[in-house]
Structure 1
Amino acid sequence: MSLKIIHTADWHLGQTFFGYDREAEHDAFLIWLANTLKEQQTDILLIAGDIFDVANPSAFAQHRFYRFLREAKAGCPHLQIVIIGGNHDSAARLEAPLPLLEELNTTIVGMVKRTKTGEIDYDSLLCPLYNREGKQEALCLCVPYLRQGDYPPAEEAEENSFMAGVQRLYQKLTNYAKQQLMPEHALIAMGHLYAGSAELSENDRSERIIIGGLESIPPETFDESLAYTALGHIHKAQRVGARDSVRYSGSPLPMSFSETKYNHQVVSIQIEKGKAVSICPVSIPTCVELLRIPTTPQTPEEVLSSLSTLPDKTDDNVQSCPYLEVRVLLTAPDPGFRHRVEEAIKNKAVRLTSIVTSYPKNEVNDTFSPLTFSDLQNISPVTMLEHAFTAKFGNELPEEIKDLFNNVVREVQQ
């Protein structure tokens, strides 16, 4: 027999993007996912953490999550859903409705539980996976986001770092699961963590990686006997350590403008006789476009000219309007530029998120020497301003600004 699995993660329900809510985008994704589960006759849905964007999600975000679970099961009655908690989730909140969700064949592991003697309850981290006929085909290691103390203590001569502790937990849990594994059953793992070789999305504010990689976990943590390892936490879909069977599915929605040409996905896995015979990404349709105008920074006049060519609004529904990042090249301060941008797009079918300012690189910047402590003791305020202006913009301070500054200085000194 075989087992069809879909792996996804990092939904971040309730998230805002530069202040804009993403309800329409999340709805579109969840509708698409429910239809995909039905079309592919999926047996197992693995959600590897960060269901919500914050530990105390809004009622609307929770409603959206539970509505999806109901609709996914209605379209695919034999579907089994397995969920682990992420660092953005509240473990207790995720597990609270379990008595009801178990009726929907849904398992949630939000935290590492302990036995009465204080030992890790490894049984609570294991979940058998069944095919559509109700026969077990695999055993899943359901490891949520781990915090200090969630892993087994170090033995004598063992390293006691976070990384070593996470490795110990996976090793002990894998060995424990192997003792219960039946012949031709697959061993699957889930995790919400930062694998040290993973590539991060540029400027993704929601990927919080500890400085120096202190929480990074080496790919060798995941035993070679695992048929597939479904990871969450990193928002860019990728293989880990060149191992095709260890993957991040990535987030379903873009988290930064570095993803303008990046196809978001879920991962489809086919298990047969304990092995992954097929691992294929399934592209998620783009719901809202990311626009960078211009593609490379240009002068304010060129930028405003480009903005004038954008399509006009046709209705009041802004939820489907592209997000806009404006990129401008400045050679002098332009405090009124944002207002001119806002006026230029007032009736355009876009949503302004940010204005990214760049400055020309020239010989002045390359040869400019910083002020010494002695210079700072003797320098006049206007000379300091001239120095700072040239260092930033590569040009001399305009006379108009110099005169205004001198007037301010005189008023202060009077």
Structure 2
Amino acid sequence: MKVLHTADWHIGQLFHEYDRTYEHHQFLDWLLETLISEQIDVLLISGDVFDLSNPSASSVKMFYSFLNNAVKGNLNLQIVITAGNHDSAARLESPKPLLESSNIHIIGLVEKKEDGSIDYAKLIIPLKDKDGTTKAWCLAVPFLRMGDYPVIAEAGNSYSAGVAAFYAEAYNSTCANKQANQPIICMGHLHAQQTDMTDVDQSVERAIMGGVECIGAMAFHENIRYVALGHIHKAQRIGGKDHIRYCGSPLPMSFSELNYKHQVIVFDLEEQGISNLKAIEVPISVPLKRVPSVHSTLTEVINALQQLPAAGSDLQSAPYLEVRVLLDGPEPGLRHKIETALSGKNVRLAKIDVKYPVAADAGNTTATVSEDNLRELQPQDVFAKVYQAKYNNAVPAELLQLFNQATQEVAQTVAE
């Protein structure tokens, strides 16, 4: 069977306040063509279908229109979808009874039996050929929240131990259903150990509690042929193993991904393992652009922006622009000056990244102030130190005069 692994679509996401509907449409249209051209039998979507737990009606329509077109274009295609941490598990599962008649399986919730034990059978999906014969099994595990996994009280890290126990018990349950010649693959939406993360992963998808939510590759049984992971947006192998992978997000999530190739993973699933594994690059419909390539003075930045090409008629595909400026102090009119320089240009201003000169000894010493000295400090002393630390320059006389005026007015108001 030929399998395609994708994840982290984040339909409905805004990129620096710009709507990404056009980009998601372009990706989904490309994916429809790829499913046919690669003759895919099984499509795995490992979580974070939507960016918000309460997606807009247009986002929901886009997703289910894709599912409808996918099964129409390939009547034998099976689709397995799991919920990510951004998805509402119950909302994602709501059309489940209707979709299963079309070989579309959605797993959002970890269900329990009457005795409170985990119902692993609800997570096990048979993968069938065009004749309806079960050829393999998929263990479809969504993002695990507290209460979804066994509690291992004696473990030093109860989360990682509980998740490992969950996968072990789920694997054993799958083995009880399968025949000897039927391989097992599994899905997960989690943070694996030693992952290479983008800045968005670190700020949005970061592990909590000092990294205790990191799962090791050993959590997955060695006989599982492929582990299709989602959650981290950069494609990579886990634990040096080719069969345990993040496929990454199909769209750029930050400017740090300027030169990064987004992809889906395709492989042949066989009884003894996988073969012909390859990454297929996802075309970028809206590119990212940085001007200048390094932080430069405002004069140099304005000159560079004025050299950009004029806007065309197709504004929805105009690049997202990050402007990189090096300043030696505050610049209140910065955005207006940049927007003026960009008037009529074929870019969309997404971010202004400002840097200031760094003092040679910055970060090498930590100043401490005693309680008595703290009482002796005047507001203008604190202001001068903060300004110097941020801009590596003395406070301009005009700005210091305004600050002193403001502090005098505050003092007078308090006295009254």
- The TM-score bracket by the shorter chain reads over 0.9
Q: Does 1:245 align with 2:237?
A: no
Name which of structure 1's ranges 272-281 and 101-110 shifts more when overlaid on structure 2: 272-281
What is the letter of the counterpart of residue 249 of structure 2?
S
- Gaps spanning 5+ residues in structure 1: where? none
Task: Quote the offset at 1:367 in angstroms.
Answer: 7.5
Q: Does 1:53 align with 2:51?
A: yes
Q: Does 1:192 align with 2:189?
A: yes
SS at match of 1:377: helix
Paired position in structure 2 for 1:322: 319
SS at match of 1:54: coil
Q: Aligned runs of 1:5-404 on 2, under 5 Å? A: 5-154=3-152, 161-204=158-201, 205-315=203-313, 317-363=314-360, 365=362, 370=367, 372-373=369-370, 374-404=372-402
SS at match of 1:165: helix
Task: Quote the offset at 1:152 in angstroms.
Answer: 2.7
Q: Is the 8 A contact 1:153 1:160 kept in 2?
A: no
**Residues 11-32 of structure 1 deviation map (CA, whole Å, 9 limit, x = unaligned):** 1111111111110000000000
Aligned length: 410
CA distance in 1, matches of 2:380, 2:173: 72
CA distance in 1, matches of 2:91, 2:362: 53
Task: Quote the offset at 1:242 in angstroms.
Answer: 0.6
CA distance in 2, matches of 1:398, 1:259: 38
Task: Quote the offset at 1:93 in angstroms.
Answer: 1.1
CA distance in 2, matches of 1:396, 1:159: 51
SS at match of 1:89: coil
TM-score, normalised to structure 2's length? 0.93
CA distance in 2, matches of 1:241, 1:369: 39
Task: Quote the offset at 1:409 in angstroms.
Answer: 4.1
What is the letter of the counterpart of residue 345 of structure 1?
L
CA distance in 2, matches of 1:104, 1:312: 48
**Residues 248-299 of structure 1 deviation map (CA, whole Å, 9 limit, x = unaligned):** 1111111111100001000001112341012211100011111122222111
- Gaps spanning 5+ residues in structure 2: where? none
**Residues 325-366 of structure 1 deviation map (CA, whole Å, 9 limit, x = unaligned):** 111111111111111011111211111122111111233646
SS at match of 2:98: helix
**Residues 182-232 of structure 1 deviation map (CA, whole Å, 9 limit, x = unaligned):** 222211011111112212112444324214112111110011101100011
CA distance in 2, matches of 1:282, 1:189: 21
CA distance in 2, matches of 1:335, 1:223: 58
CA distance in 1, matches of 2:112, 2:365: 62
CA distance in 1, matches of 2:250, 2:317: 16
CA distance in 1, matches of 2:87, 2:286: 25
**Residues 14-51 of structure 1 deviation map (CA, whole Å, 9 limit, x = unaligned):** 11111111100000000000100000110000001111
